[in-house]
Amino acid sequence: MKRFIFALCLFAGLTFTANAQKFAMVDMEYIMKNIPAFETANEQLNQISKKWQSEVDAQIQEVQTMYKNYQTELVFLSEEMKVKREDEIVTKEKAAQELKRKYFGSEGELFKKRQSLMKPIQDEVFAAIQDISKEKDLSLVFDKSSSMNFIFTSPKLDISDLVLQKLGYSK
C-alpha cells in the first residue's frame, strides 16, 4: 500500500512539474533570412569561396596538364627525367591539396571568415532569444529548422517574429 501511495505521489509530482514548464519554437532559418546583415555576410562568403575554389581548380588543372604532358612524352624520357617529372607532378599536386586544405579545411580560412562574419549575428539572435525566454518565463526553446523531426508545431508556439522584432527587424 505504501508503494502505491508513493508511486501515486511521484506521478502527481512529475505531472505537476511537466505542466509548469513552458516552451516555444523558433525557426532560425527564417530569422536569419530576415536579417539583412546575415544575407550580406553570406554573399561575401560565397564570393570568397568561389574565388578560392577557382584558385584551387587552376592548380589542379595545372597538375592534370603536367600529367598529360608527362604521359605523352613518357617514351622519350630517360629514367632520370621520368623520376624528375614525377616528382614535379607530385609536388605540384601536394601544393594544390595543401592550398585546398588551407582555404576549405576544418580550421581553414573559410571557416575563420565565416566565424568572424556570422558569429556576431548569431550571438545577437541568441541573446534576443534568451531575453524573450526570460520575459516569458520559458524553460525550453526549440529550433524547428534544425535536424530534429517535428511532425507538427503549433504556430502559437513560434516566437520567430518576436525575435525579429526584438532585434529591430520587421517581417
- Counted domains in the chain: 1
* 49 in a structural domain: no
Give tens-digit pLDDT for 115-166.
999 999 999 999 999 999 999 898 888 888 776 676 777 778 889 888 998 8
Question: What 3 state SS string does 100-162 have?
Answer: HHHHHCCCCHHHHHHHHHHHHHHHHHHHHHHHHHHHCCCCEEEECCCCCCCCCCCHHHECHHH
**pTM for the whole thing?**
0.68
Residue with cell 505521489: 9
What CATH code is carried by the domain that includes residue 149?
Answer: 3.30.910
Task: Tell me if 106 is assigned to some domain.
Answer: yes
Domain presence at residue 4: no
At residue 148, the pLDDT reads: 67
Q: What percent of the chain has pLDDT over 70?
A: 85
Task: Give the pLDDT score at 74.
Answer: 87
Give me the amino acid identity at 162: L
Q: Give the residue numbers spanning the domain of 156.
A: 23-44+55-167
Confidence of residue 7 (pLDDT cuts 50, 70, 90): very low
In a domain? residue 13: no
